[in-house]
Amino acid sequence: MKKDLTILIVDDDHYFTGSLSEFLSGKGYTILTVGTARDGIKSFEEHIPPIVLLDQELPDSSGLEVCRKILEIESSVKIIFITAHASVRYAVDAMQAGAFNYLAKPFSLDELMIAINLAVKNVQLEDQLKIQAYEQKHAHSGHRLLGVSDAMERLREQIKIGSESQAVILITGETGVGKNLVAREIHDLQEKRDSFLSINCSAIPENLIEAEYFGHEKGVFTGADARREGIFELANGGTLVLDEISEVPFHLQSKLLAVLEERQVRRIGSARPINVDVRIIAISNQNLESAIRENRFREDLYYRLAVINIQVPALRHHIEDLPILAGFFVQRFCGKEAGISDDQIKQMQKYAWPGNVRELRNIIERASLLRRGNQIKPADLLVPGHLNTRLVQNTEAAPVAHQTKIVTLDELTNRHITSTLAVFAGNKSKTAKELGISLSTLKRKLKK
């Protein structure tokens, strides 16, 4: 879904602005018109339109001065000068001041649309680059959603239902089951969403999280050297995934709820609401109902998030998919000629996989580094947390088919954290990175 694109026209010729406004409105743009420099700057501050059509001479100032002031407010705006007194010198001055384009009156409507279309393409490209930069900073690695089991078929049915709705979705499940992949599948099935932005709520320092979410105005606090969009504005028109939603500080959860209810955000330092059209998908590996009882999560926010709740199954609950998953990872890390024997697959299916698909992926990736030749051998399959124990020697420790004791989610999480910590010889930073959580989250879990 494209953002509504607003164009601000700053020109004191009311007949000209009226005609231009009518024409551009018919092209689907939202048009704002003012006749003075003062009103132009004020209107720009209030609406931050991405494109401005600016007259060279205004009753109370020059267009060059207005151009400089607007660019100080927002450097990415595309300013197209329009003038009845064209000169090479003035065109050069306009470009040096930061103008995007320059049109001399009288100009044809075709010339105008070429200039505007070029500006629109640049705005859209810059929006995509912003999202890509943010995604690289908060990247999630992944693979395709694989499996032919009944559990995976039910999951795909839920994904389809979710993709056909615009309701907020909550995706839950144990660590490592592929919740981000499910979010991506939902997004890819939607026809009207452009961008996909996924952030890890636990990875943002608490003192920066409000500015990261809602953005801020220039100079509102130390270090705020420029106006900045928050994640809701960045994802406007697309899908925003809030991973580890349980890690959002309690005092900010009410603001998050307000955004979900009102579909508006307010940057820090600004009273002006900004409308956002964002598909929200929240992800949690924590029991949010328990967090509510412990006063760590707002009940009203939980019910607003869980309009559609998709539970991603643990690997042990669709262990028949392990051959497909293992084969995929073997080829990914070892090449198309590599393989793993049926006997090894059967042994691997007896293991409980507390770290789920992520643990399977990590074990095969390690095995790919240890192997000799194309085949992965039993001696290559190292069990995390048991540095001298191989997977095929450890499979009877937790046979899925004959397991009688029901292990709680907390116990499984604790085992996985402990085993991964052992693999990295107690190095908490490497362990947190491997688990896909922040160092502060790991320390809190270890303390608990």
| Residues 304 and 350 placed together within one structural domain of the fold | no
Are 291 and 165 members of one domain? Answer: yes
Do 117 and 152 lie in one domain? The reply is no
- What per-residue confidence (pLDDT) applies to 408? 64
Answer yes or no: is 195 within a domain. Answer: yes
Predicted local distance difference test score (pLDDT) of residue 298: 95
Residues 6+ apart with CB under 8 A from 405: none
Question: 335 and 243 share a domain?
Answer: no
d(CA 338, CA 334): 6
Please say which residue of 294, 311, 328 terminates a domain: 311
Q: Could you say which of 87, 103, 134 is where a domain stops?
A: 134
Which pLDDT tens digit goes with each residue over 75-115?
A: 889 999 988 776 777 778 888 888 999 888 888 899 999 99
DSSP three-state, residue 49: coil
Nearest to 247 by CA among 278, 203, 192, 294: 203
Same domain as 69, residue 144: no
Can you tell me whether residue 263 is helix, strand or coil? coil
State what percent of residues in the chain have pLDDT above 70. Answer: 84
Residue numbers of the domain that contains 231: 140-311
User: How many independent structural domains does the chain possess?
Assistant: 3
Q: How many helices (H) and strands (E) does the chain have?
A: 19, 16
pLDDT in tens, 330-358: 888 877 777 788 888 888 888 889 889 99
Interval 148-170: pLDDT, tens:
899 999 999 999 999 988 899 99
Same domain, 39 and 178: no
**Is there a single domain that holds both residue 206 and residue 302?**
yes
Can the peptide bond before residue 106 be classed as cis, meaning omega within 30 degrees of 0? yes
CB 56 within 8 A of CB 12: no
Contact predicate 55/10, CB 8 Å:
yes
Task: Please tell me whether residues 172 and 303 are part of one structural domain.
Answer: yes
Q: What is the mean pLDDT of the chain?
A: 83
383-396 pLDDT per residue, tens: 554 433 455 444 43
CATH number for the domain that contains residue 75: 3.40.50.2300
What CATH number does the domain containing 338 carry? 1.10.8.60
Each residue of 271-311: pLDDT tens digit?
Answer: 888 999 999 999 999 999 999 999 999 999 999 999 999 99
**Residue 444 banded pLDDT, cuts 50, 70, 90:** confident
Does residue 1 form part of some domain?
A: no
